[in-house]
Structure 1
Amino acid sequence: MSAFPFSGINLAITTPFDTQGNIDYARFETLIEGYIAAGVHGFVLSSGTGMHVYLSKEESKELVAFGAKAIAGRARVIAQTSALLVEDVLERTRHAADCGADGVMVLPPFFEGPTDDQGIVDFYTTVCQAGLPVIGYNVPQAVGVEVTPALFGKLSEIPNFVSVKDSSGDLAAQASLIRTDLPTMNGADPLAPYALYAGAAGLIWGGANMAPRTCVAFVNAAMERQWERAREIWRELEPVMSLIWQGDYVQSVYAGAQLSGYGAGNPRRPLARLSAEKLEVLKAALDPLASREAGLA
């Protein structure tokens, strides 16, 4: 492992729901145990893949508390504490600290929030006062704010601001962040091998819910600079990771995880389960990977 505190795979774990749409904590604990056994290096609780925007503040806080207790120091814990109000972000972040989280991931201000660099710097300066390491989040297609290399440099001067997760899906844009030599985390599934080869500091990976052992083997090989081995494993991962990035991402991860034995139920409304047609396409792409995954158990 590198000196960066969030290197390797940080699994953006799904949040399981029961048939009534409530969080299924018994299943959540089972999933955590399975992923720890698979060797994941860390967890992101209440992630985007984990339906953060469709959890109430209290649900998200309860999920973080339960997850951190279940993980119990066996892997690192990152909590997403994004919210519209900066006061809510601070409250959630302090709660995550109280629960023993190692860091938090926070979106820049969204839904008509500030888009100028100084406004973003001011926002993260406030968030970083909560005391935990903060990972910023670059997903301009969703929030309308792009973390450029220049902005990344300014943010990195803030005490406790440690990294940016790039989920833009733009390889050139991510490479420009990595070239700053500041710790950049990849959050775009199809870019994982390119990001690691270019020098990404770590990954926050939703698609790994479907094949954690294979993803861990791939990342470990890359971190050990066994590039031929990493490329061999990536050939198994690439068809699925590219497919889910093309649309219905969260629904696809839930469906794929169900198919591979890491089921979390269905996504919470308003997201619907994956259509039958898309499920068949996903299953066809996933079958070879699922067989490989089963062989690693």
Structure 2
Amino acid sequence: MSAFPFSGLNLAITTPFDAEGRIDWARFDALIERYLAAGVDGLVLSSGTGMHVYLSQEESMALVARGARRIDGRARVIAQTSALLADDVLTRARHAADCGADGIMVLPPFFEGPTDDDGIVAFYAEVARAGVPIIGYNVPQAVGVEITPELMRRLCEIPPFATVKDSSGDLAAQAALVRTDLPVMNGADPLVPYALYAGAQGLIWGGANFAPRSCVALVRAARDGDWTRVRALWRPLEAVMSLIWQGDYVSSVYAAAAMTGHDAGQPRRPLAALPARKVEALRSALGELVAIESQAV
């Protein structure tokens, strides 16, 4: 994974909120420091896990600016710059570049946008005018656009389109992308070790918010080719990574992070805090991770 510019663990950091639903900037700074201390390779600012779609453009751009300053070269910076309007994507992308971001993550056009390959290629070609490396985002279950191997080949012909983050949750589909011999990133929490073994060259991982040290250790073991250790490290992660993927993903990540000492407050409305019965199921699935990760904070 070393030659790929987005290799290793890129943590899709939560956006912390106070009791009134405003961004808690002091807590944001503290979380960045904790995740850097855990050894993450990169941080994704204004991520999906960080409630990108429920932030205003001004809030999202402020997160990128402040986060990049705080990180200050100690890890790579990836900014999500997705928006409904192509002009807004370009504005956000140029802002991220001005802040020193190493890359941007961009959803294809969504909510009745173009779904044909030519339309998707034209969209990313427009975004490329910002001049910053682009991570495409394959999440067909959410946006209705699938990045197929053929479309990926076309997209990677656009400089500076760099890779696709696959969050489809379909390992066979991800393996098909890997077989293009183009770099692919995994974005589906339950598939992490299998995706790395199949040849994914990097991760954007939301669940790492509540178990950063365990997740970093797993990725490093995979980098070393120590698959026996990968399996041992995955064992305590497996149940909870599968559980959060089944629904209430963002609320579950916020709740689990609070349990392990990486509290980001409650998610912003319209999302709600995880119901009590689901909190207990989550706590059970976390198991020993609560003690392991809390001790490391």
SS at match of 2:141: helix
Counterpart CA distance in 2 for 1:256 and 1:172 is 29
Q: Tell me, yes or no, if the aligned pair for 2:17 and 2:265 is still in contact at 8 Å.
A: yes
SS at match of 1:215: helix
Q: Tell me, yes or no, if the aligned pair for 1:189 and 1:242 is still in contact at 8 Å.
A: yes
Counterpart CA distance in 1 for 2:167 and 2:203 is 10
- Deviation, structure 1 residue 207: 0.2
- Partner residue in 2 for 1:282: 282
- Partner residue in 1 for 2:253: 253
Where does the alignment leave 5 or more consecutive residues of structure 2 unmatched? none
- Deviation, structure 1 residue 291: 2.1
Quick one: which amino acid aligns to residue 151 of structure 2? L
Aligned-pair Cα RMSD in Å: 0.8
Quick one: which amino acid aligns to residue 58 of structure 1? E
Counterpart CA distance in 2 for 1:263 and 1:181 is 39
- Partner residue in 2 for 1:28: 28
Where does the alignment leave 5 or more consecutive residues of structure 1 unmatched? none
Counterpart CA distance in 2 for 1:52 and 1:77 is 16
Q: Tell me, yes or no, if the aligned pair for 1:41 and 1:75 is still in contact at 8 Å.
A: yes
When normalised by structure 2's length, the TM-score is: 0.99
Quick one: which amino acid aligns to residue 50 of structure 1? G
- Partner residue in 2 for 1:270: 270
Q: Tell me, yes or no, if the aligned pair for 2:261 and 2:293 is still in contact at 8 Å.
A: no
- Deviation, structure 1 residue 231: 0.6
SS at match of 2:159: coil
Q: Tell me, yes or no, if the aligned pair for 2:12 and 2:43 is still in contact at 8 Å.
A: yes
Counterpart CA distance in 2 for 1:130 and 1:215 is 32
Quick one: which amino acid aligns to residue 24 of structure 1? D
Counterpart CA distance in 2 for 1:240 and 1:287 is 9
- Partner residue in 2 for 1:166: 166
- Partner residue in 2 for 1:123: 123
- Deviation, structure 1 residue 97: 0.6
- Partner residue in 2 for 1:77: 77
- Partner residue in 2 for 1:10: 10
- Deviation, structure 1 residue 294: 4.1
- Partner residue in 1 for 2:211: 211
Q: Tell me, yes or no, if the aligned pair for 2:236 and 2:287 is still in contact at 8 Å.
A: no
Counterpart CA distance in 2 for 1:76 and 1:213 is 17
- Deviation, structure 1 residue 132: 0.3
- Partner residue in 2 for 1:187: 187
SS at match of 2:287: helix
Q: How does 1:132-151 map to 2 (within 5 A)?
A: 132-151=132-151
For these two proteins, the number of residue pairs brought into alignment is 297
Quick one: which amino acid aligns to residue 185 of structure 1? M
When normalised by structure 1's length, the TM-score is: 0.99
- Deviation, structure 1 residue 154: 0.4
